[in-house]
Amino acid sequence: MVQLLDRWRGDANGTYRSWFLWEERLKNFRSIRRGIQQIIAEIAAGTFGTAYRGSSLETVVHSIAEQRQIFKGADHAFLWKPKLRIPDIYENPDNQKAFGRLLDTCVCCNTEQQVIAAIHEIDRMTIKGLGPAVANLLYFLHPTLVPPFNTAIVNGYNALTGARVKLGRWDEFLAMRQGILSLNASFRTLLSNDLGAIGGLLFDVGSGRYPAPPRDMDGEAMKAWEADLAQVREQAAKANKAIADARDGDHTHTEVQGWLRDLGLAVGYDVWVAANDRSRPFGSGKLGDRCLECLPASPTTPGLEAIRLIDVLWLDKSSGRIVAAYEVEHTTSIYSGIVRMLDLALGDDAHALEGLFLVAPDGREEEVRAQLARPAFSRIADLRVRYLSYGELKSNRDAIARFGHGMKPIQAIARQLT
């Protein structure tokens, strides 16, 4: 098992390095938590609606599903299947309210006992089609208590432990959770308190990327397994080289943030860099150098925690209001950046905004347009979000910094999306 963990942790394409250590992952926790709070508020107010498409739940689940391979397909369990009448949280008001209570309890609580009690309560409701897939929402609320869940993770757990956990039942999920906690405790130094790490291991085993070690420790079986593991390692090395070659000459997320920081300062604004990016090395210093130490907003400003994680903000020096927001979507899901911008779009000072910009490689414009066409993003579309390509920013930033002032130059090189 230790041999497997060592190989897995060193694989650049495995979930440990490609997702668990991914720099955007922690930003998504706050955005998704905020989205879950929106679902709760709409259910309580009776405005959630009777359809998945275009709902706040779709926004949250889709943002989870687009987080790397481990969560691909997370939205399938929540899609309304009219012939089966599942999941029965759209047409049945009582079931919808029970679902809202589950989420509300788990947002507000902080102990294992409270989370498990809330799961038992929803299980007693026997809501048709509403099963352990909900754990993918709960994971983003309590990552040290609830592991992520999907078919591959269940298959990986069964392969590693010899268990026979079945899909679709909360009692089976809770039994698997207990086993995952025990397995995680046995190898804590190679895993994490965050159950996303062991969830990623189980996913990679269950999806066939890594073979499970033989449980009987037979000599011939061990040799065969080690040979399989060595083959996986060789394939991973080739894949890593291909990725490195494809990215050669590409600009990093931090580099583009630095361009926007310097440009904002040059054209007369105060600049805020995402709270969890401020200490990143950039040039001869850090990305947060010369930027605001704190946002001039009330601690009770709705969505403040999510706003603090937007990649770059430009603020008016005299009023302290946010004038422009930039989300740099280097290789990540466009969805997560849009979700963070929703907190600005729905805030009290939205009228002061002169520009919301999605900054991405030149070839992602159509992907951005497709996402903004979704009904769930109608409010942010009203604010006329713009697409700013790396190429335009790189070509024009020096001239804008030298001769420009205010928002007009940056608006001139960005393309209107809505």
Residue range 62-100, pLDDT digits in tens: 888 877 778 888 889 999 998 999 999 999 999 999 999
pLDDT tens-digit series, residues 175-215: 999 999 999 999 999 999 999 999 999 999 999 888 888 76
pTM of the model: 0.64
pLDDT score, position 376: 64
In this prediction, residues 259-266 reach a mean pLDDT of: 96
Q: Which helix (H) or strand (E) holds 286?
A: strand 285-286
Give residue 381's pLDDT.
61
Average pLDDT score over residue span 151-157? 93
- Whose CA is closest to 386, among 404, 368, 408? 368
Ordered by start, the domain boundaries in the chain are 2-22+68-206, 253-416
Question: In sequence order, what are the beta bridge partners of 360?
Answer: 389
> Residue 221 — pLDDT band, cuts 50, 70, 90?
low
Percent of all residues in the chain with a pLDDT value above 90, rounded to a whole number: 48
363 or 147, higher pLDDT: 147
List, in sequence order, every residue forming a beta bridge with 322; answer none if it has no partner.
Answer: 315
Tokens of 63: 């943002």
Contact 388, 400 (CB under 8 A): no
Q: Does the pLDDT at position 362 exceed 90?
A: no
For residue 383, what pLDDT band results from cuts at 50, 70 and 90? low
pLDDT of residue 227: 63
Q: Which stretches of 267-389 are DSSP H helices?
A: 304-307, 334-345, 365-372, 378-382
d(CA 134, CA 169): 11
Tell me the Ramachandran region of residue 22: left when phi exceeds 0, alpha when psi lies from -120 to 50, beta otherwise.
Answer: beta
Pairing of strands 285-286, 281-282: antiparallel
What pLDDT sits at residue 372? 73
pLDDT for residue 316 is more than 60: yes
For residue range 112-142, what is the model confidence (pLDDT) as tens digits?
999 999 999 999 999 999 999 999 999 999 9
Whole-number pLDDT of residue 339: 73
Mean pLDDT of 154-175: 90
Is residue 344 over pLDDT 90?
A: no
pLDDT of residue 284: 86
Contacts of 238 (CB under 8 A, 6+ apart): none
User: What does the alpha-carbon distance between residue 274 and residue 327 come to, in Å, rounded to a whole number?
Assistant: 10
Indicate the average pLDDT of the chain. 85
Note the pLDDT of residue 304: 78
pLDDT score for 246: 39
Higher pLDDT, 336 or 184: 184
Under 8 Å between Cβ of 7 and 229: yes
Residue 131 near residue 168, CB atoms below 8 Å: yes
